[in-house]
Copies of this chain bind each other. A is one copy, B any other.
Amino acid sequence: MSRNTPTTSIARHDAHSIHIREHDLVNELMGHVSFTEMIYLQLTGKRASTLQVKVLDVVLVTLMEHGHTPSSIVARQIYDSTPEAMQSAIAAGILGVGGTFIGTMEGAALVIDQLLADPANMRQTARDIAQSHFDQRKPLPGFGHPFHKPGDPRSPRLFEVARSHGAEGKHIDALQLLSEEVDRVYGKHLTINVTGAVAAVLGEIGIPQKIMRGLAVVSRAAGLVGHIHEEQAKPSARHVWQLVNEHVPYVKES
């Protein structure tokens, strides 16, 4: 094997066994680990600690379901168009887990990493970040919510779950310190929203910023299965199509 041959270290199998990250699937994993533990193992190559399982579970539970969303609307339309290929509906729906809705989680994680990079000057860095976003009227990732006011109820609960299972708290503390500076600079309270809080608690368990989006996608994919199942029993896709016809009318372009 030449030096430059790329390799994989995820899974190997022979006729009698399958090993994932060097663990025997049949004898060590099936029936012994939860889906969440398996996600952590497959992703990182390491067995999850209790803290890591609890935080990953609470994040996956939190992001899974928000009622009607662009993703659920899309999944139901596509399911109605092609019920013979349910995976298409889920795929189409998760294509909506993009910059608008999930980019803020990644942005918040970047800001937290920036704060942690220079612990001695964290408050000054926080002040600068808050001020520069305020001055440029740029949305600050992880802060504010159009609907959950004054506070997003999920954020303190995420912190509580993480801390109660032994999280060190550095990422959470950094985000909360930033929150203090944000409130000072903006002259009003901006809630730490769920995407900011998720970024912090995933940071606590060592999930790198650049793979976080993937976990949000898995969580949302699971939520979409529920929407498709409801669509099977109580279809609404055709009704929504009709709504669009009625409420987004044709007008001749002037």
Contacts and interface: CB of A to CB of B under 8 A. Distances in A.
Interface of A: 1, 5-13, 15-18, 20-22, 25-27, 29-31, 33-36, 38-39, 42-43, 45, 54, 56-58, 60-62, 64-71, 73-74, 77-78, 80-92, 94-102, 147-149, 153-154, 157-158, 160-161, 164, 208, 210-211, 213-215, 217-219, 221-230, 232, 234-237, 239-241, 243-245, 247-253
Question: Is chain A's binding surface mostly helix, strand, loop or mixed?
Answer: helix
A9 B82 contact: no
A97 B92 contact: no
A54 B160 CA distance: 27
Nearest to A81: B96
A227 B29 CA distance: 19
Contacts of A245: 67-68
A42 B64 contact: yes
Contacts of A98: 78, 81-82, 84-85, 87-88
A241 to B, nearest CB: 6
| Residue among A34, A102, A243, A245 with max Cβ neighbours from chain B (10 Å) | A34
Nearest to A151: B16
Contact of A42 (B29, B65, B83, B161): B65
